[in-house]
Amino acid sequence: MLEPHGGKLIKRIATEEEKKLFLSLNLKKIYIEKDEALDAEKICIGSFSPLEGFMDSETLLSVCRKMELPDGNVWSIPVILQVEDISGLKTGEKALLIDKTDNKPIAVIDITDIYKLNKKEIANTVFGTLDTNHPGVRRLFSKGDYAVGGSITLLNRPSFPNKEYELDPEETREIFKERGWKTVVAFQTRNAPHRAHEYLHRLGMEIGDGLFIHPIIGLKKEGDFDSKIILEAYQILINNYYPHRKVLLAGLSTSMRYAGPREAVFHAIVRKNYGCTHFLVGRDHAGVGDYYDPFAAHRIFEEIPDIGIKIIKFSNVYHCKRCGGIVSENTCSHPDDVITKISMTKIRKALSEGKRPPPEMLREEVADFLIKNFYLVTEDYR
C-alpha cells in the first residue's frame, strides 16, 4: 500500500493517563472554532501527515510561497490556528485548545511560535484573490490577526454531525488491505452525486481495485448541500447501481477552503494518507464562483513535484444524444444541440421546485430522495 505523505502516518493521541495529567495542569486555554477543532483531530489521526501541529510562521511562509513544507514535502494549504488575543501565551509552554461551541478540550499544543499573520499574502497566494466575497478569503479575514504554531496531541474528538460516517486513515488502510485492494481510486466531492460523477466513479472502478468515495462533510458555504443528505444520496446510488465489493463510502469532516487548484493538491495528499493510490480531479475542483480557471486544478499537478498519488484528470463530462449516453470531451465531438450539460445549478433549481431533473443529469432514485429531503446549508461555515 502507498506510503503516507512524508513516509509515516502521524498519530498523536493522548492516553487516558496523559489526558488526565494535561487536564490537571491548569494550562492556559485557547478557545477555538469548530473548523480548527476538526483540523486538530485530522492532524492527530494522520489525515494531514506529515503535519504534527498547527503551522509556525516559517512553515506558513514556505507553504504560501513555495507550496512546500520546510522539509521539502509538497503542501499547498495553510493549516493554522488563528487567534485574536495572544496575551498570556508564551512559546515553550503548553496550552489547552478548547472547542468554544461546547467547551470540550480537544488538544494540547506545545507552543513554538506566536506570530502576526500577513493575511493579504495568504489570501493572494492561496486563494489568488483579496475579494472578501470569496468564502475562504472572508473566513481568513474574519478570524484573529495572530497565529499560534506548535505540535499538538489529541485529548478528545470534536463533536460534529455525521461523525459515525467517518473512518480514520488507519481504518481505511486496514479495510483496503482486508479487501485486497492494491489500487484505490479516491473521489472527492461536496455535492450530491449526478450522472457526470457517476461516469467518473465507473472509470475509477475500471482503473482501480476499489473506489473510495470520500465526501467533505465539514463546514461549507451557504448554498452547498447538507452533508447528511449527500452521504445518504451516495448510499442510494451505491445500493442501486454499484457493485458493493468495489466501493467504500466515508465522510471527511474538514472544512472546504474553496482554494481551487491548491485545494486539489491538498485533497490529493489527504487521500494518499487514507491509503489511496489514485485521485480523480474533475473540472473546477474545489472552485467557487469564477475565481479559478476550470483547468487550473489540472495544470497545478504539472507544476509541482510528484506527490506520490496518481492524478486522474477529467474534462467536461456531459450527456450526448447522438452517442446515447454520458461521455466526455475526450470521447465525443458532437455539436451543442445534441448535448445536455450536467449542471449542479440547474439540478438544485429543479429539486428546490420539487421537480425531477432530466434522467440524463440525475438518477431518479437520487432525485426523489433529494426532493423529499431538500436541504442546503443556510449560512457560511455553520
Q: How far is the CB of 199 from Zn ion (least distance, A)?
A: 13
Q: How far is the CB of 303 from Zn ion (least distance, A)?
A: 32
Strand partners, 154: 13, 107
Alpha helices in the chain (DSSP H): 16-24, 34-45, 57-66, 119-122, 135-142, 169-178, 195-207, 227-241, 260-273, 296-303, 344-352, 364-372
78 close to 139: Cβ distance less than 8 angstroms: no
**Active-site hit among 73, 118, 162, 191:** 191
Q: How far is the CB of 326 from Zn ion (least distance, A)?
A: 10
**Which helix (H) or strand (E) segment is 70 a member of?**
none
User: How far, in Å, CA of 301 to CA of 237, rounded?
Assistant: 30
Nearer to Zn ion by C-beta: 229 or 323?
323
Residue 214: Cβ within 10 Å count: 24
Entry field: residues in the chain: 382
Nearer to Zn ion by C-beta: 322 or 382?
322
Nearer to Zn ion by C-beta: 114 or 323?
323
User: How far, in Å, CA of 74 to CA of 3, rounded?
Assistant: 15
- Burial of 148 by CB count in 10 Å (0-12 exposed, 13-18 middle, 19+ buried)? buried
N- to C-terminal Cα separation, the chain: 36
Q: How far is the CB of 171 from Zn ion (least distance, A)?
A: 42
Q: What are phi and psi of 317, to 5 degrees?
A: -115, 130
Nearer to Zn ion by C-beta: 322 or 349?
322
Packed helices 227-241 and 364-372: angle between N→C axes, nearest 10 degrees? 150
Ordered DSSP codes for 74-131: B--S----EES--TT--TTSEEEEEETTTTEEEEEEEEEEEEE--HHHHIIIIIS---
Nearer to Zn ion by C-beta: 8 or 334?
334
Nearer to Zn ion by C-beta: 312 or 323?
323
Positions in the binding site for Zn ion (CB under 5 A): 320, 322-323, 332, 334
Instruction: Give 3-state DSSP helix, strand, coil % of the chain, rounded to 5.
Output: 35, 20, 45
190 flagged as catalytic: yes
Q: How far is the CB of 202 from Zn ion (least distance, A)?
A: 17
Q: How far is the CB of 316 from Zn ion (least distance, A)?
A: 12
Nearer to Zn ion by C-beta: 307 or 320?
320
Strand partners, 213: 187, 249
192 close to 60: Cβ distance less than 8 angstroms: no
Q: How far is the CB of 280 from Zn ion (least distance, A)?
A: 22
316 flagged as catalytic: no
**Sequence letter at residue 105:** P
Omega before 135 cis (within 30°)?
Answer: no
Catalytic site residues? 190-191
